[in-house]
Amino acid sequence: MGSLLLALLLQQAAGEFMDVFGEMEAAGKAVKEADAAAARFKEIFGVAPLRGAIVLTTDGKPAKDRTKDLAYAKNGAKWIWRWEAKKGAEPDETMAHELGHLFLIFWIHGTTPPAPQYGSLLPDWLDEGVASLLECAAGHKGYAAEMRKRIAAETHLPLKDLFGCLHPDSREKSSKPKAKERWLFYAESWSVTAFLLERYGAKAMRHLVATLKEGKSMDTAMGAQGLPKSVADLETAWKAWAK
């Protein structure tokens, strides 16, 4: 009985960057999507994410178990994450998005993250922007269309407001205001992050992360690694691109 349980526990799909444990067909699908998200992360920052293991759950099972869970790290995974897999053949975009948050947290903070909060210690717009970059192209088209409309109508967030605001659901104790429009916050976070990556590349993205995780402002990060001299110049270039 014990060895049968272990055999079930270890049914897995091993990927290039990630391992997935679960029923074979679901695990095979999830490992392709998780690996694609990890490869995208590597394109964004020039750094592969820390290897992780995803345990696919059904109604919360298998539950967490400190001793048995060690078996999930057999291929060198440094973190273990449980995910209730979406049914059906469509890509699980939410999984890819959430992996984006986890890749960032473990890259920046290691496997012992600081006090639990929404995402990493990066500003919320960059956390969401990177996570959204890991979703598939259909979602990006929706964000892009929203931003074209918003910029034309001048109802987008000025960048100093985007850079200074919290996620609409944030529980962080802070004097910073929360973003008021959820959809706009997501669309604009994606748009600015996608622009930064496309125009300035992975080196500039690494520079931004290194600067911002120290709690420094976007103004401080400007003028290096090919980035514009000021946030105002960045705003002009981004708006021209997003239109």
Which CB atom, from 102 or from 222, has the smaller least distance to Zn ion? 102
Least Cβ distance, residue 123 to Zn ion (angstroms)? 13
Retrieve residue 57's tokens: 């759950």
Amino acid at 183: W
Least Cβ distance, residue 231 to Zn ion (angstroms)? 23
Which CB atom, from 95 or from 131, has the smaller least distance to Zn ion? 131
Which CB atom, from 44 or from 131, has the smaller least distance to Zn ion? 131
Which CB atom, from 19 or from 124, has the smaller least distance to Zn ion? 124
Least Cβ distance, residue 88 to Zn ion (angstroms)? 22
Residue with tokens 């103004």: 219
Least Cβ distance, residue 185 to Zn ion (angstroms)? 10
Least Cβ distance, residue 122 to Zn ion (angstroms)? 12
Cα–Cα distance measured from residue 161 to residue 145, given in angstroms and rounded to the nearest whole number: 21
| End-to-end Cα separation, the chain, in angstroms | 62
Q: How many Å is the Cα radius of gyration of the chain?
A: 19
Q: Which residues bind to Zn ion, rule: CB under 5 A?
A: 131
CB of 42 within 8 A of CB of 78?
no
Which CB atom, from 13 or from 95, has the smaller least distance to Zn ion? 95
DSSP 225: T
Which CB atom, from 131 or from 234, has the smaller least distance to Zn ion? 131
Least Cβ distance, residue 105 to Zn ion (angstroms)? 12
Contacts of 126 (CB under 8 A, 6+ apart): 189, 193, 208, 209, 212
CB of 207 within 8 A of CB of 224?
yes
Omega before residue 62 within 30° of 0, cis:
yes
